[in-house]
Every structure is written in C-alpha cells, then in structure tokens.
C-alpha cells in the first residue's frame, strides 16, 4: 500500500475524521483499516462472490451513474454559465419570487409570568407591563425601561410576518404606523409584552444588481437542465430512438 493510496483514501473522509487520522497514531489505525478492507475483498473474490449476478448488476449501475456524471460535467463546462442577458431574463420572469416582504425592526419590553401563576399574579404582571408601556410612551429611554422589565427586552431585530411565534404580538407589531410608536400591552403564553417600532422597510422588489448572486444561484439548475435537454435531444436524433409500447386501455 503506497503513501499516495493512503492520501487518496484519507481525502474522502469528513474533515473531523481526516484530522484525527493525520496524527501518527491515527494514521497507523487508518492504514490497518485499509488493509483489513482489502483482506476482506480478497477473501470475497477467493470465494467467487464477485461473480454473483446481483453484484455485477450493482457494479454496472454504479459505473453508469459515474460515467453519466462525468458526461454532464463535461457538457456543463463546455456550455459555460448563464450570461448577463440570461440572468436578467430570469430576474424579470421571477420578480414575484424575489420580492422582499415588509419588515419591521422591533424592540420589546417583557414581563414574564411564571408557570402556575395565580390570577392575582397575572394581574400584577399585566399592571407592571402597563406601567412600563406608559413610561415608553412618555419618552423614557427604551434600554432603561426594558431593564426594569424582566431583563428579556431590547431589540428583536428585523422581522417579517410569520417570524414571530406569537400571533397576537405580531398583529400588534404590524399595526404600528410610525417609527417610535409603542403598542398596547399584549398577553403572551409567557406573560405580557410591549413592542416599539424602531424602523420599517416596505415590501419591495430589489433591483437586479442587489440580487444578482441570488439570481445566478437560482438560474443555474435551470441552465443545467437546458444543457441536459440539449444533449438528450442530440443523442435521440443521432440514435433514431423510438418507443413501441401498447396503449393502455
């Protein structure tokens, strides 16, 4: 067994395993496993198992898949990648898919109600949330108000519809009209929250230049499909392919 064979086999391993077998002790273990595999294959041939028809079928199927992959890779390399005009045409045809939904940048002040809380405890938590909401509406700094909640407030980041797990909170957030607006107290599974609108991005279709990389990634599978269809059309014509099957009743 050569060093080149060892390196080739090692290169097929996932990264964590490859790093493990790069150490001296690991290399010895890996070489042993390669030798064991060859011993097993040799014994199988001695017993004539490699001549079984089902083994031949599997080998032929694997060879067929591998040579088809090589053929398609060669065709795709010869065809190149989608050009600028093809990408722009894809962009125009798929503008709806590339549209960006309305997004809000939100902050939240939260008052958590512990599991099993009594009705009195829930009422007290709601009153606390209402006082915090009033402080926000009176102009007090968000960071200070959030800190006086349960320490779980602050920025939620950018969200679109469907990003928030609580539908009531989402409804309250998307009903805010102006930057700086603060919602009423919203009851959640874990307690009560107040959200503030920090910034809004309206729904839009980004310009081609903004999403060119995404368009190229989306268009590539379609481009490869066209390469395949073109190859198949040439092969069918050259091979005079016909299908003779009985028509189903």
Task: Give the DSSP H or E segment for 5.
Answer: helix 3-11
Q: Examine residue 7 and state whether it is found in any structural domain, yes or no.
A: yes
Name, in order, each residue with C-beta under 8 angstroms of 186's C-beta and a sequence gap of 6 or more: 166, 168, 169, 172, 192, 193, 194, 195
Using CA atoms, how far apart are residues 204 and 248, in angstroms rounded to an integer?
Answer: 50
> How far is residue 158 from each of residues 109, 191, 200, measured CA to CA in Å?
16, 22, 9
How would you classify residue 232: left for phi > 0, otherwise alpha for psi between -120 and 50, otherwise beta?
A: alpha
Clarify whether residues 89 and 145 are in a common domain: no
Domain that holds residue 214: 79-95+206-233
Kindly state the average pLDDT of the residues 73-82.
92
Clarify whether residues 89 and 162 are in a common domain: no
Clarify whether residues 170 and 183 are in a common domain: yes
Clarify whether residues 121 and 188 are in a common domain: yes
What sign for the dihedral angle of Cα 3, 5, 11, 16? negative
Is the separation of the CB atoms in 135 and 158 below 8 Å? no
Clarify whether residues 128 and 6 are in a common domain: no
**pTM of the predicted protein model:** 0.58
Query: pLDDT exceeding 90 applies to what percent of the chain?
Result: 59
Clarify whether residues 107 and 189 are in a common domain: yes
Question: Which residue matches tokens 């073109």?
Answer: 230
Helix axes 212-239, 84-93, angle to 10 degrees: 100
Residues in the chain: 249
Question: What would the two tokens of residue 61 be?
Answer: 């199927």
Using CA atoms, how far apart are residues 1 and 173, in angstroms rounded to an integer?
Answer: 66
Question: What would the two tokens of residue 105 be?
Answer: 């940048």
Q: Examine residue 210 and state whether it is found in any structural domain, yes or no.
A: yes
Identify the CA nearest to 185 among candidates 104, 105, 108: 108
For 153-201, the pLDDT digits (tens) are 578 889 999 998 889 999 999 999 999 999 999 998 888 999 999 999 9
- What pLDDT score does 51 carry? 92
Clarify whether residues 130 and 179 are in a common domain: yes
- What pLDDT score does 90 carry? 93
Q: What is the DSSP code (8-state) at residue 204?
A: B
Using CA atoms, how far apart are residues 98 and 206, in angstroms rounded to an integer?
Answer: 7
CATH of the domain at 150: 3.10.50.40
Total domains in the fold of the chain: 3
Kindly state the average pLDDT of the residues 30-51.
91
Is the separation of the CB atoms in 107 and 133 below 8 Å? no
**Which of 61-65, 71-75, 97-101, 238-242 has the lowest average pLDDT?**
238-242
């Amino acid at each position: 067994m050569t060093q080149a064979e060892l390196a080739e086999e090692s290169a097929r391993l996932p990264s964590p395993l490859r790093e493990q077998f790069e150490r001296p002790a690991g290399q010895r273990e890996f070489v042993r496993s390669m030798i064991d595999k060859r011993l097993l294959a040799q014994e199988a041939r001695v017993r004539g198992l490699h001549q079984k028809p089902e083994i031949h079928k599997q080998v032929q199927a694997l060879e067929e898949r591998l040579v088809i992959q090589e053929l398609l890779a060669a065709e795709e390399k010869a065809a190149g990648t989608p050009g600028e005009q093809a990408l722009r045409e894809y962009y125009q045809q798929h503008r709806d898919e590339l549209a960006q939904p309305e997004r809000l940048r939100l902050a939240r002040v939260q008052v958590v109600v512990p599991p099993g809380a009594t009705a009195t405890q829930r009422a007290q938590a709601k009153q606390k949330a209402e006082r915090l909401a009033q402080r926000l509406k009176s102009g007090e700094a968000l960071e200070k108000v959030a800190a006086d909640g349960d320490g779980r407030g602050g920025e939620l980041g950018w969200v679109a519809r469907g990003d928030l797990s609580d539908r009531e909170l989402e409804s309250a957030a998307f009903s805010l009209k102006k930057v700086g607006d603060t919602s009423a107290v919203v009851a959640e599974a874990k307690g009560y929250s107040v959200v503030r609108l920090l910034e809004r991005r309206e729904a839009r279709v980004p310009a081609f230049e903004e999403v060119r990389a995404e368009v190229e990634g989306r268009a590539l599978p379609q481009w490869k499909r066209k390469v395949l269809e073109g190859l198949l059309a040439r092969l069918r014509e050259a091979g005079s392919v016909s299908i003779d099957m009985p028509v189903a009743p």
